[in-house]
């Protein structure tokens, strides 16, 4: 299954710009998806409708850190250990409990104008599903079935994101006319179970209608597939089995078993259709993110282009945001110390002193994925105009004015390492990397295997847990010794923790971490009245609350003048993970660091409020958001979420 925005975008934009009066799609959209009886008599026009749905759902998806259908920003990724900087939901000086403080993702009042919001997108899906077999009865049945399959999938993923934010939400599966007096449309919030049942039904229907692979691999690559719908079902059921929604997660395996069987079925289908882990070494693991055309790892992929205008393509904003200023970018994504210290050693063991980890020489003997996820001073990180570019970001002090720092190559980074994952060495800085061609894999085969591993772990099947985690590690070259470095897992809690750890490494900076933290309630053991928790302690983890994302400078250990003291001597340094003598290069870099650098604290802490260091504080009512005041005002029959004020004062419990 794939999100085919690149080719769809061209079609949709041209349609919007050049449609004739009789075929004016935007005019039809103003009527909330209601189109005249002749609309569905044409496959082209029917495809326009579907393509516009893809556009509305996924156009904003331009960064792998972005989440939530239609909205796609990185606000939730910034609540995790991956990126520093205090946001409202982790700000210890703020307590959000009132409906005015709640998110507005739910949407606003339906009005006579185009709005790209959840229930408008659902309405467009409902309209299509109601009309296609009636008004489009003359269309080829296979075409209609595949069209419906895509729309069922779209409706499912929208409800899934609503569920992840709000728990239970009203289920609308038909086109409703706006009315202030029709009691039938005053739908209450469905239970989480009811929402999951609807999502699963939609995904089952999508899987029954969609092909394993589209016949026209070129024109249709990026459309959803049978295996994609099945994999999405596995993801939904995994979430449903997790502690946030499942009080009995530790006492019953019923939901875990359902999620496991869905995952295994998806794995079998996708394997039969030619999908699987891409490559057999770390270099290929990195290259996987840049594949053009069919990518066996990509269950769901957002196709992006490299064109200068929206009519040509939708462009990836990731490369521009992550490249150093010296390379022509806008500044790096600094990696907090907590992420640098996270990745395993080269043998798969945890990075501890006992296992030979030195936080100062953090780049020595690390998991092969480390060198494809991060760049650091002395590392080769090329691009189209300079294939051999070496990244440098350190600072030094002027001997005559020790309060005045200077920065190498004007790269003023708050960490000695910065994210390079999913960057493309063929990207051009001619326009500040604005048009990177790199696609985004929203759901890849490795995640499906990790989902399966977690289900086995929750059921206490440690052998199969190790087997599936081993597939992930073996692919990048971690040796099989000592269970691929994982060691002996003594019980299911250790097995679950191992799965969550592997997800942090394998899926780092792919927009997944917050949803794992949320569904396992990992900020703290604190819970709301009427809900259960305590998972942090059970899994033997450290609560995220009370921690902070730490930044620090790589600093020249001596004083100098305003001139770069290392400019003339660093030229021999270039650490290239593709080089045959990579290990020797790392040794040389370690010597260079030891001779020239120290770590120093930031002038302003990475996590701060008014320049004062603070620690993360995520309150338990934030796991599931309340309904905003505007929603409660327009829909006064809706219950407010437990832990939130407003409306009926927070009595909707999402945990079952």
Give the pLDDT of residue 37: 72
CA distances from 50 to 75, 91, 143, 544, 580 (A): 28, 41, 12, 42, 49
Q: What confidence tens digit (pLDDT) does each residue in 22-42 have?
A: 233 333 444 444 567 777 889
Give the pLDDT of residue 35: 65
Q: What confidence tens digit (pLDDT) does each residue in 89-124 have?
A: 999 999 999 999 999 999 987 665 678 999 999 999
14 band by pLDDT with thresholds 50, 70 and 90: very low
Pairwise CA distance, residues 15 & 4, whole Å: 16
Q: What confidence tens digit (pLDDT) does each residue in 263-290 have?
A: 999 999 999 999 999 999 999 999 999 9
Give the pLDDT of residue 30: 40
DSSP line for 136-154? TTTS-HHHHHHHHHHHHHH
Q: What is the pTM of this model?
A: 0.94
List the single range of 309-318, 335-344, 605-614 with lowest mean pLDDT. 309-318
Q: What confidence tens digit (pLDDT) does each residue in 545-590 have?
A: 999 999 999 999 998 889 999 999 999 999 999 999 999 999 999 9
Q: Tokens 């792998």 belong to which residue?
A: 64
- Mean per-residue pLDDT, 8-14: 35
Cβ atoms within 10 A of the Cβ of 601, count? 12
Strands 597-601 and 552-560, by their bridges, are: antiparallel
Q: Is the pLDDT of residue 528 over 90?
A: yes
Give the pLDDT of residue 151: 98
Q: Tokens 């440690």 belong to which residue?
A: 462
Altogether, the residues listed in the chain come to a count of: 656
DSSP state of 312: T
- Supply angle C-alpha 336, 341, 346, rounded to 5: 135
Give the pLDDT of residue 570: 97
Q: Give the closest residue to 38 by CA, choosing from 135, 112, 113.
A: 135
Q: Phi/psi zone of residue 395: left (φ > 0), alpha (ψ -120 to 50 degrees), beta? A: beta
Work out the burial of residue 437: count CB atoms within 10 Å of its CB; fewer than 13 is exposed, 13-18 middle, 19 or more buried: buried
Q: What confidence tens digit (pLDDT) does each residue in 488-510 have?
A: 999 999 999 999 999 999 999 99
């Amino acid at each position: 299954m794939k999100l085919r925005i690149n080719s769809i975008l061209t079609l949709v934009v041209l349609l919007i710009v050049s449609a004739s009066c009789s075929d004016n799609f935007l005019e039809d959209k103003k009527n909330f998806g209601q189109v005249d009886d002749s609309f569905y008599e044409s496959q082209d026009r029917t495809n326009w409708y579907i393509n516009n749905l893809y556009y509305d759902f996924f156009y904003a998806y331009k960064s792998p850190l972005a989440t939530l259908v239609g909205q796609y920003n990185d606000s939730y990724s910034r609540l995790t250990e991956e990126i520093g900087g205090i946001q409202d939901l982790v700000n210890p000086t703020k307590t959000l409990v009132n409906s005015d403080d709640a998110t507005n993702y739910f949407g606003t009042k339906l009005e006579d104008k185009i709005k790209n919001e959840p229930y408008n997108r659902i309405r467009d899906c409902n309209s299509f599903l109601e009309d296609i077999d009636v008004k489009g009865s003359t269309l080829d049945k296979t075409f209609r079935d595949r069209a419906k399959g895509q729309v069922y999938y779209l409706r499912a993923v929208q409800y899934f994101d609503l569920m992840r934010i709000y728990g239970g939400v009203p289920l609308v599966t038909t086109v409703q006319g706006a009315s202030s007096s029709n009691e039938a449309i005053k739908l209450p919030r469905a239970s989480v179970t009811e929402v999951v049942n609807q999502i699963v039904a939609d995904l089952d229907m999508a899987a029954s209608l969609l092909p394993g692979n589209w016949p026209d691999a070129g024109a249709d690559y990026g459309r959803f597939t049978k295996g994609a719908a099945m994999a999405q079902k596995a993801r939904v059921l995994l979430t449903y089995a997790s502690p946030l929604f499942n009080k009995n997660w530790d006492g019953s395996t019923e939901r875990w078993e359902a999620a496991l069987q869905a995952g295994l079925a998806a794995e079998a289908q996708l394997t039969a259709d030619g999908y699987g882990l891409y490559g057999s070494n770390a270099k290929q693991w990195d290259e996987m993110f840049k594949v053009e055309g069919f990518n066996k790892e990509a269950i769901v992929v957002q196709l992006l282009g490299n064109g200068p205008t929206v009519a040509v393509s939708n462009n990836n904003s990731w490369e521009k945001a992550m490249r150093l200023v010296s390379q022509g970018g806008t500044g790096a994504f600094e990696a907090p110390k907590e992420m640098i210290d996270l990745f395993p050693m080269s043998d798969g063991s945890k990075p501890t002193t006992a296992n030979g980890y030195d936080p100062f020489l953090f780049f020595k003997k690390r998991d092969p994925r480390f060198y494809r996820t991060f760049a650091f001073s002395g590392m080769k990180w090329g691009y189209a105009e300079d294939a051999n570019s070496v990244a440098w970001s350190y600072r030094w002090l002027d001997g005559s004015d020790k309060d005045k720092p200077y920065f190498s190559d004007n790269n003023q980074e708050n960490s000695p390492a910065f994210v390079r994952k999913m960057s493309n060495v063929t990207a051009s800085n001619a326009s500040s990397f604005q048009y990177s061609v790199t696609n985004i894999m929203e759901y890849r085969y490795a995640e499906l295997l990790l989902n399966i591993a977690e289900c086995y772990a929750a059921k206490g099947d440690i052998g199969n847990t190790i087997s599936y985690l081993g597939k992930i590690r073996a692919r990048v070259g971690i040796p099989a010794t000592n269970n691929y470095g994982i060691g002996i897992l003594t019980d299911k809690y250790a097995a679950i923790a191992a799965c969550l750890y592997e997800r942090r490494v394998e899926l780092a900076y792919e927009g997944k971490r917050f949803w794992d933290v949320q569904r396992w309630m990992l900020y703290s053991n604190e819970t709301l009245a009427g809900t259960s928790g305590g998972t942090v302690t059970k899994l033997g983890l450290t609560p995220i609350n009370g921690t902070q994302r730490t930044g620090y400078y790589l600093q020249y250990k001596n004083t100098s003048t305003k001139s770069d003291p290392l400019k003339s001597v660093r030229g021999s340094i270039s650490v290239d993970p593709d080089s045959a003598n990579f290990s020797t290069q790392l040794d040389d870099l370690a010597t260079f660091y030891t001779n020239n650098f120290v770590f120093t604290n930031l002038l302003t802490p990475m996590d701060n409020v008014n320049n004062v260091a603070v620690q993360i504080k995520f309150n338990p009512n934030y796991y599931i958001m309340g309904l905003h005041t505007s929603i409660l005002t327009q829909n006064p029959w809706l219950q407010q979420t437990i832990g939130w004020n407003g409306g009926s004062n927070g009595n909707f419990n999402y945990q079952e």
